[in-house]
Chains A and B, each alone.
Chain A
Amino acid sequence: MGNKFIRAISAEEIAPGGMKTVELAGREIVICNCSGTYYAIQRRCGHMNAPLELGTLDGKYVTCGMHCAQFDITTGQALSGPVPTDLGNERLPPRVAAMMHKVAMQMQHVRTEGIRTYETKVEAGWVLVGQ
């Protein structure tokens, strides 16, 4: 079955290694320029929904800027979960420590899921994204 493509963005708007968010048919999508090849991924991180375009793109790997979960933009596969934060030897006020403990208890049940990818093609200088 043929896929319907929507014009998303001018190809020259994203430099190699860059990412840009677009909204297409009510979906938030990040277009990634991986050495001249364009990939489209869902905007929200598979860990805690942070916007992925605020992270970094290195080759075909996007790293979320919030907790450093990593994904393969060609497949959407989750490659790693969050990197643990370090509070060092800082002693938190008891109420803050109790809240952090509660958050940690809940966070341990958060799974990092893969992200959705979309088909792309470039035509006449435009990046088109499949629906």
Chain B
Amino acid sequence: MKTESRKEALQYFFAKVVGPMNFKFTPDVELKNFLLEQEVILEAKHGISFCPCQPIRHDRARDMQIVCPCIPFHREHFDAIKRCWCGLFVHIDVIDPNSLPQLPPKDVGLG
């Protein structure tokens, strides 16, 4: 299976999911391509496109919460920091993703 074709397909399907949640792909094209490539590798290994920045713990209930796009499972946190953990998705109004601080939940009044 070719990585580029799979990346294109993942982009197509993810855009449909994240758009209605007011998120979009990061405008940082290099980062987007890198992260999608990692997801293709994880999918080839595990059958599921897990978030590339989270550990797989082989606990189904928990692991399902890091299947990309994992926004619905961590919505409050991502809404607060205007990005997802790995940075593949940012809020629709974000122009400069590098200006967004990565804050843990407790620093944004969660958890």
Contacts and interface: CB of A to CB of B under 8 A. Distances in A.
Contacts of A112: 1
Given A78-B1, A80-B43, A61 B12 contact: yes
A70 B9 contact: yes
A60 B53 CA distance: 29
B1 A80 contact: yes
Contacts of B2: 77
Contacts, number: 34
Main secondary structure on A side of the interface with B? loop
Contacts of B12: 58-59, 61
Contact of B1 (A59, A61, A79, A86): A79
Q: Give the contact-size bracket for chain A.
A: 10 to 19
B46 A84 contact: yes
A83 B60 CA distance: 13
B41 to A, nearest CB: 12
Nearest to A70: B9
A79 B5 contact: yes
Interface string A48-86: 000000000011010000000010100101111111101
A88 interface: yes
Interface of B: 1-2, 5-6, 9, 12-13, 43-44, 46-48, 60
Interface of A: 58-59, 61, 70, 72, 75, 77-84, 86, 88, 112
